[in-house]
Amino acid sequence: MKRQVPLVLVFLFGLFMIFQYFVPHESSEWVYEFLLDWIYIIGIFALALGIWSLYVVSVDKIKTRKHDWKYSYITLAGLFGMILFGFTARHGDEWGWFLVFVACVLLTIGMIVQAMAAKTAKGLPLALAGVFLIASILIAAFDDTWSFYFYTAEGLQSTMFRAFFDYVMMPILATIFSLLAFFIASAAYRAFRARNLLASLLLIAALIVMMRFFPYFGSTVGELIARTSNWLMNVPNLAAQRAIVIGVGLGIVATALKVILGIERGYMGKG
Amino acid sequence: MRFLLRTTVILALLLGAGVAAQTEPPPPVDSVETPSIPPPAPVTGLEVFDTDDDHGHSITLTWELSADDGIGQGSVMSYDVFRWYPPLMDSLAARRDKIQRAQAAHARFRRDLGVAEDALGDLLSGDREFSALRFSVATPTDDSTFVLDRSFVERALRDTIQVMSTNLPLLPDSIRALQEVFESALERLPEAHKTYPTGGTWKSVGKAASGEGRFVNSGSKDPMSGDFIPDFTDLYYRVDAVTADEAVRAESVIVGPRQSKGQWFNGGRFPVFWAVIIFGFLTIYFVSRARKGAELYVRPLAGIEAVDDAIGRATEMGRPILYVLGLGTAADVATIASFTVLGRVAKRVAEYQTELIVPTYDPIVMSVAQEVVKSSYLDAGRPDDYKENTVFFVTNLQFAYVAAVNGIMLRELPATNVYMGKFFAESLLLAETGALAGSIQIAGTDEIAQIPFFIVACDYTLIGEELYAASAYLGREPILLGSLKAQDWAKAAVIVLAIVGLVAASFEWTTFTELFHVTN
């Protein structure tokens, strides 16, 4: 029964998805949109599971003192810090005790993690966690320079949330992305070594395509290279790409059919 | 002397005339003669019909160009398409605006009431220090300031809250009442259109450029939208040929009534429909053949054959295996295929008692992957070896995910990295880091742009559809191999059809090429 119900559901909904592709009627559209809404609903619940998983893995890392375990504290601080920033916003120009409040909440969580990680002597971190928790509750109760916003998107516009996202998160992401330039260079060096005939052809083709952007060729040579490069890109390259696309398309249809018919059950843990 | 006098008088007269000429008011615009544009020839052969293969709410118009479009006088600049609106449509629009305004007011009232209550609460509890509210008033004589006292502010807040609290509960009822009236008017819309041509007005619904003889009046299905077009309702259209002077135009004959409605089958997708049917039958045929025990040959996939060796290597080295499912969601077929490969890998890992690390990008993918790995450990007869933390969520930010996975590679130094699923710009970042860490790398993706990166940086790469074939190849189950055979036959058919299509296109044999034309 545990296996049959998911298979029946997959069969029914998979069949409906094929059906709706060929049926443009409003009723079919309505059901399709209704089903798509479920993805958001499931996604929200799954996100909670995801956050819990990240928390458990980070705590476990601290607990078992794995390599570079200290960075897990930064992961947890980032996770809970941004949640706090997202649900709070200041009223005016004054920060008041807000930063102290954030520090107290993070220290509370840190101390709880420390207590969970410690094999013995859990009392001190737990006591400190209690102290920090009381301090954060007191600040939240008496500091009126900021408030919690659970029902509006006020927190998402708060200075601290925006600042951390724009000036910490984005530069880090851009840095990681920029590494791609160096990785492309090293990968190209490996790929273009003329070890055999095919690799040599690859090298020549790559040189022609790259030289298309070289600005100091004369008009005749430049024109010839540009035309050769365009031919390489539009004829052999595109032909190979289309062959892969056709194969992928057929593979997708075949896999989808296998899933719908219950032949492929790998997603249920049964291959 | 007389000469001088005469000259002076003449000069004065000339100057006076000049000044008079300059100060004379310009002739009225009406009196300026502009070349008048003669009215153009109207469009002919106007046909109005329900748009094919759609969900309704759309009407297509075609016409023969005006005799003065491009040729003749060449005066037609565009075509203005008009639809007849009964008076009820205007009343519907007014009611729609009213409902939207009421809904906006309701939202604003709720927010303002909360603000006022908070302010009063702060004032009464003394949370917010009240010294005085100072208002600066600029007058023509001086800038003065006056101060509001506490009791006045408190009274004002109380009055505001009372008015709002009284009115706020009434608003939803008012909105509901407005909606009911709107819906009843909506039901009367088909009847209202039957009263043509009494009372209604012609309104422009769009323009087509000169030289174009087709227009699709595509509207919204949402009655609350301004461009809503009702289905099963008599609609009347006309098309005006318009000259450079908007006022000079020629009206076509009025065509109607025509009704729009949704179709139950999209005829424009017939080629896809037949392809799916034929491919489905092929799959079922080969699966049934495989079930009966037919020998089906599948060419070896080096990348898949290397999986077992890679797991053995990891076991010998005492290092973990890193499995990356990519950035796809659980709805992507590449991710579904990857789950199957993950299941096989996890089973071998469980048998060899090696460590498996599966960092995920999507929480739903994480949940499914956890179930897959758990089942594989169970199938391998080692359920106790399964750890919850084997599959974990990292983040759903692309480069943050890259940073996390690269960190794992450099810290844990996995013996084998397996990348299967959907990959984008992170493919090379991951694969190059893995290569630097000295891991054996096996990749598979259906993203064409990322395949070259994986080929360069990984030891084995499954190209495109090989990813989907991997599950069948790993399992060697006849049923799965049957579907692979169906794919091969379909590919052969595509090759033959492509060659025939090439010849047909070269000889302009359109009947054949049109068979494969997907129009919508």
Residues A30-40 have pLDDT tens digits of 999 999 999 88
B397 and B496, same structural domain? no
Tell me the mean pLDDT in the region B257-267.
Answer: 91
A207 and A143, same structural domain? no
Does some domain include residue B21? no
Percent of chain A topping pLDDT 90: 52
B340, B423, B446, best to mutate vs chain A, most A CBs in 10 Å: B340
pLDDT of residue B131: 54
In a 3-state reduction of DSSP, which class is residue B262? coil
Domain limit, last residue, from A51, A67, A83: A67
pLDDT, tens digit, 9 for 90 and up, residues B331-350: 899 999 999 899 989 999 99
A98 and A146, same structural domain? yes
pLDDT of residue B338: 93
> Whole-number mean pLDDT of chain A?
89
B387 and B245, same structural domain? no
Report the number of distinct structural domains present in chain A: 3
State yes or no: pLDDT of A1 exceeds 80: no
B335 and B283, same structural domain? no
Contact B425 A25 (CB under 8 A): no
Chain A CA closest to residue B344: A271
Does some domain include residue A27? yes
B201 and B169, same structural domain? no
State yes or no: pLDDT of B329 exceeds 70: yes
Does some domain include residue B1? no
Task: Quote the tokens at residue B101.
Answer: 């305004």
Following DSSP, what letter does each residue of A106-149 receive, concatenated?
A: HHHHHHHHHHHH-SS--HHHHHHHHHHHHHHHHHHHH--SEEE-
Contact of A234 with chain B, judged by CB distance below 8 Å, is answered with no
Residue A239 pLDDT grade (very low, low, confident, very high; cuts 50, 70, 90):
very high
8 A C-beta contact, residue A255 and residue B472: no
B343 and B215, same structural domain? no
State yes or no: pLDDT of B148 exceeds 80: no
Percent of chain B topping pLDDT 70: 88
State yes or no: pLDDT of B127 exceeds 80: no
A32 and A13, same structural domain? yes
Contacts of B128 in chain A (CB under 8 A): 144
8 A C-beta contact, residue B77 and residue B243: yes
Q: Which residue has the higher pLDDT, B7 or B382?
A: B382
Domain limit, last residue, from A43, A67, A91: A67
Residue B370 pLDDT grade (very low, low, confident, very high; cuts 50, 70, 90):
very high
Measure A3 CA to nearest chain B CA, in Å.
12
Domain limit, last residue, from A45, A67, A89: A67
Contact of A42 with chain B, judged by CB distance below 8 Å, is answered with yes
pLDDT, tens digit, 9 for 90 and up, residues A88-110: 988 777 888 999 999 999 999 99
Percent of chain A topping pLDDT 70: 99
Domain limit, last residue, from B166, B187, B208: B187
Residue B305 pLDDT grade (very low, low, confident, very high; cuts 50, 70, 90):
confident
Tell me which long-range contacts A21-24 makes (C-beta under 8 A, separation of at least 24). A21/B266, A21/B269, A21/B272, A22/B265, A22/B266, A22/B269, A22/B272, A22/B273, A23/B264, A23/B265, A23/B266, A24/B53, A24/B54, A24/B55, A24/B262, A24/B263, A24/B266
Does some domain include residue A53? yes
Q: Which residue has the tokens 């003394």?
A: B126
Measure B78 CA to nearest chain A CA, in Å.
32
A135 and A49, same structural domain? no
B123 and B81, same structural domain? no
pLDDT of residue B475: 67
Does some domain include residue A270? no
8 A C-beta contact, residue B428 and residue B399: no
Q: In what order do the strands lie in the sheet with B391-393?
A: B391-393, B356-360, B321-326, B416-422, B440-445, B460-463
State yes or no: pLDDT of A138 exceeds 50: yes
Does some domain include residue A271? no
State yes or no: pLDDT of A124 exceeds 50: yes
Contact of A67 with chain B, judged by CB distance below 8 Å, is answered with yes
Please give the residue range of the domain that contains residue A10.
Answer: 1-67
pLDDT of residue A32: 92
pLDDT, tens digit, 9 for 90 and up, residues A206-216: 999 989 888 88
ipTM: 0.91
pLDDT of residue B136: 53
A250, A268, A270, best to mutate vs chain B, most B CBs in 10 Å: A250
> Whole-number mean pLDDT of chain B?
85
User: How many whole angstroms separate alpha carbon A126 and alpha carbon A138?
Assistant: 18
pLDDT of residue B386: 92
Task: Quote the tokens at residue B14.
Answer: 């000339």
* DSSP bridge pairs for A146: A90
pLDDT of residue B394: 94
pLDDT, tens digit, 9 for 90 and up, residues B88-106: 998 899 999 999 998 998 8
Q: Return the CATH number at B77.
A: 2.60.40.10
pLDDT, tens digit, 9 for 90 and up, residues A179-233: 999 999 988 888 888 788 888 898 899 999 989 888 888 888 989 999 999 999 9
Of the ranges A19-28, B37-46, B133-142, B200-209, which one carries the lowest mean pLDDT score?
Answer: B133-142
State yes or no: pLDDT of B369 exceeds 70: yes
Please give the residue range of the domain that contains residue B68.
Answer: 44-86+195-258
Chain A CA closest to residue B390: A57
User: How many whole angstroms separate alpha carbon B312 and alpha carbon B456?
Assistant: 24
A91 and A174, same structural domain? yes
Overall residue count recorded for chain A in this entry: 271
pLDDT of residue B497: 92
Please report, to the nearest 10 degrees, the dihedral formed by the alpha carbons of residues B89, B90, B92, B98 taken in order.
170
